[in-house]
Amino acid sequence: MNPKDKKKNMIKQIKDRGEPEKSVLGNYQIDKLIGNGVSSKVFSAININTGEK
């Protein structure tokens, strides 16, 4: 599995779980669910290295 597919798979698993808070993905930590769209969910994330939101 190439890295892009692996990352997409991880994102899909996070979205499907329904409890994405505090999940770590790459250099970002998912903070909270902001909103739901028709075909997507929007999350806020914190950069682990800099602490930026």
* Domain regions of the chain by residue span: 3-47
* Burial of residue 27, with CB atoms counted within 10 A of its CB: 0-12 exposed, 13-18 middle, 19 or more buried: exposed
Local structure of 37: helix, strand or coil: coil
The pLDDT, as a whole number, for residue 21 is 47
Strand-pair partners of 15: none
Say what the pTM is: 0.42
pLDDT number for residue 46: 78
Distance CA(2)–CA(29), nearest Å, equals 22
pLDDT digits (tens, 9 = 90+) for 8-43: 777 777 667 665 545 566 777 777 888 888 888 888
So what's the pLDDT on residue 36?
85
pLDDT of residue 17: 66
pLDDT reported for residue 18: 63
Rounded Cα–Cα distance for residues 33 and 20 (Å):
7
